[in-house]
């Protein structure tokens, strides 16, 4: 039984394995209507990885619903009556196209510090868990169908436009020797991801 003073966890960092479908990371920045929108990775998941993600997302959302101190992005407390059904929020995380299930992971490509905007890069590791050299890492372009593992930061958020789990990309591991871009996104069926997503105003 949980104690009243126990802090309910509404975020987690977790590794998932899959295949890249659309990737704009490090060497490429996603654009929408001619404007850069950050890094985007559409990750194809096997059914067992989908279930693992759903289980974790369900746990985080249920914890947020139980947490009487949980606050929205604007700083106001969220009451139990304001929440959408958990299953609906979890299912929204799983996208599908032509029978393929995938998740959409994002990250910022720039950060501001002391009034200066700097480019940032996602850490990339090879299959032996060695980090790539800076030049390789910063110019990385993933091939379509590249087998990869991703380290994701998942957090429950509540805004005027969105409530559910935000998925942010932290790190990538290349699981085979055929992961790097070989031109044209290798027949990817996906288009660049529209930035006007439901969680666009969620702070990272």
Segments making up each domain of the chain, as ranges: 13-182
pLDDT of residue 83: 95
Phi, psi of 52 (to 5 degrees): -65, -45
- Decide: 144 and 21 in contact? Cβ < 8 Å: yes
pLDDT confidence of 5, banded at 50, 70, 90? very low
* CATH (residue range 13-182): 2.40.50
Instruction: Tell whether the model's pLDDT for residue 1 goes beyond 90.
Output: no
pLDDT confidence of 191, banded at 50, 70, 90? low
Q: Which of 52-56, 58-62, 124-128, 170-174 has the least mean pLDDT?
A: 124-128
pLDDT of residue 143: 86
CB neighbours of 55 closer than 8 A, spacing ≥ 6?
Answer: none
- Decide: 176 and 18 in contact? Cβ < 8 Å: no
Higher pLDDT, 130 or 152: 152
């Amino acid at each position: 039984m949980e104690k009243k003073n126990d802090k309910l966890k509404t975020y987690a960092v977790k590794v998932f394995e899959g295949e890249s479908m659309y990737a704009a990371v490090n060497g490429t920045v996603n654009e929408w209507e001619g404007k850069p929108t950050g890094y985007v990775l559409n990750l194809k998941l096997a059914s067992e990885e989908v279930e693992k993600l759903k289980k974790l997302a369900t746990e985080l959302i249920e914890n947020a619903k139980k947490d009487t101190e949980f606050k929205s992005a604007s700083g106001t407390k969220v009451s139990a009556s304001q929440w959408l059904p958990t299953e609906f929020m979890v299912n929204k995380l799983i996208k599908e196209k032509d029978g393929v299930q995938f998740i959409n992971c994002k990250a910022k490509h720039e950060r501001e510090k002391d009034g200066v905007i700097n480019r940032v890069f996602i850490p990339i590791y090879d299959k032996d868990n060695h980090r790539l050299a800076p030049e390789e890492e910063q110019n990385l372009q993933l091939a379509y169908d590249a087998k990869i593992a991703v380290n994701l930061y998942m957090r429950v958020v509540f805004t005027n436009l969105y409530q559910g789990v935000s998925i942010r990309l932290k790190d990538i591991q290349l699981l085979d020797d055929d992961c790097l871009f070989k031109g044209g996104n290798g027949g990817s069926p996906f288009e660049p991801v529209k930035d006007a997503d439901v969680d666009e105003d969620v702070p990272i």
